[in-house]
Amino acid sequence: MIFLKKTKNYWFVAIAVIAAWFLLRSDSFLYQEPVGQVTHVKVQSKQKTTDEHNNTDNIYHQQLTVKLLNRNKIIKLTNQYTDSQTVTHKYKVGDQLLLTGHAGHFRIISLKRDAVIGSLVVLLLGLLLIYGKWRATSWLTLSLVANVILFAIALYIDVHLKNPNVILIFSILAIVVASLSLVLVLGRTLQMVVTLLATLLSTVLTMFIMFAALKITGNEGVHFETMSYVTQVPVTLFIAQTIIGVLGAVMDEAADIVAALFGLRREKIERHFKDYWHAGMNVGRDIMGTLINVLFMIFIAETMPMVFLMLRNGNNWPYILDQIMNLGILQTVISGIGIVLAVPVTSALVGWIAERYKVVD
């Protein structure tokens, strides 16, 4: 009983996660597309294949009996998949599918994944609530939701303009998003203004270095044309991407350094530029390495599936590094430069401002 009482909150979260799972599994009435659930699977044939690179794989044909959840009908579909499941899917009993077409000619467009995503969101929110209590969590969620909305607006503008200036749109987005996030976290204080200035200044400087390096070398060794999912000029898209990636990390770092230095300022107001500079560099030194790692892992993991496919297709490493991992590495390096630059920029800025404004707010 005591155990149950002590862990009460966790039980609530567990129940909420399970409830979200079942709710979202039965939300098919919200969909315009036909939604079906696999009730029976029969493997009809299995065939061994060997491709030109001597990879062996098995191709299966499966017959799926699917109950349409929002059409009240039972249909049969055939599906083909391989052991590697690179583009194909092996469907299991219980899987829910989004379909297209009508009477007799149904085709699978996607697995229905909203229940998995929804449950995970509920789990995260639940644990955040337990940890952060209602107020702090709602601020954090609010700032995330606001960022998503701002992002959606920027994307909408970008897609609906005839000749969008991508860099301009996403630079403005970056400024707005940074200001908003910092105001929500720090309130309208001098500390917030300094953090914002340091963030923007570091990001601009980083972009300047990137442009300079690309100009000097004439884009040598950089393959913007290898970018995936391109629907507009890749170079500008890459720059916009990098601005956003750098911004988040730099904001994090600048906030840490400024917070530490303002702590010093509160302890004793009569300090010189040098004190702030040294203290800031000390704080920054400790965090820059792990911060670069955060982005590095994200950018490199992103390229992995394609790297494996290329390796299996008999491509050599130099080619893969040059064609598949090229932009991931470039983005990591530029973000790294931003993260390192933010340390001296922030330290100097705080020192300069703190020496002039000696009124504690």
Partner 1 sequence: MNAIGLLIIILFILMVFVGGVQGMKAFVGLVLNFIVIFILMILINWQFNAYIVTALMSVIILALAIYLGAENQFVTNTAFKTSLIVVSILMVVAILVQHLGQFQGFATENSEELEGLSLNVGLPFTKVAVIVMVISILGAVAEAAMAIVADLNEVIERTPNLSKKSLYAHAHIIGGQILGTAINTLFFGVLGANLPLLIWFIRLRYSIAMFFNAKLLMMEVITMLLGMLGILMSIWVASRLVVHGYVKIQSKNMRKGE
Q: Which of residues 156-215 bind partner 1 (CB under 8 A)?
A: 156, 158-159, 170, 181, 185, 209-210, 213-214
Q: Give CB contacts under 8 A, 24+ apart, made by 264-271.
A: 265/354, 265/360, 266/360, 269/358, 269/360, 270/358, 271/354, 271/355
The stretch near partner 1 (CB under 8 A) out of 3-11, 67-75, 154-162, 196-204 is 154-162
Q: Least distance to partner 1 from the beta carbon of 156, Å?
A: 7
In this complex, which beta carbon is closest to partner 1, that of residue 277 or of residue 352?
277
Cα separation of 361 and 348, whole Å?
Answer: 20
Q: Residue 192, by phi and psi: left (phi above 0), alpha (psi -120 to 50) or beta?
A: alpha
Please state, in angstroms and as integers, the Cα–Cα distance from residue 144 to each residue in 119, 180, 189, following that order: 18, 10, 21
- Only one of the segments 11-19, 60-68, 281-289, 349-357 lies at the binding site for partner 1 (rule: CB under 8 A); that segment is 281-289
Q: Rounded to 5 degrees, what angle do the CA atoms 301, 233, 332 make?
A: 30
Does 37 contact partner 1 by CB under 8 A?
A: no
In terms of CB distance, is 9 or 358 closer to partner 1?
9
Among 164, 191, 197, which residue's Cα sits nearest to residue 178?
A: 197
Judged by beta carbon, residue 39 or residue 282, the one nearer partner 1 is 282
| Interactions with partner 1, residue window 215-234 (CB under 8 A) | 216-217, 219-222, 227-232, 234
One residue of 179, 329, 348, 352 binding partner 1 per CB under 8 A: 329
Kindly indicate which of the ranges 5-13, 36-44, 60-68, 249-257 contains the residues binding partner 1, using the contact rule CB under 8 A: 249-257
For partner 1, the binding residue among 17, 326, 353, 354 (CB under 8 A) is 326
Q: Mask 50-79, x = binds partner 1 (CB under 8 A)?
A: -xxx-xxx-x--------------------
In contact, 242 and 250? CB cutoff 8 Å:
no
**Nearest of 65, 85, 83 to residue 75 by alpha carbon:** 65
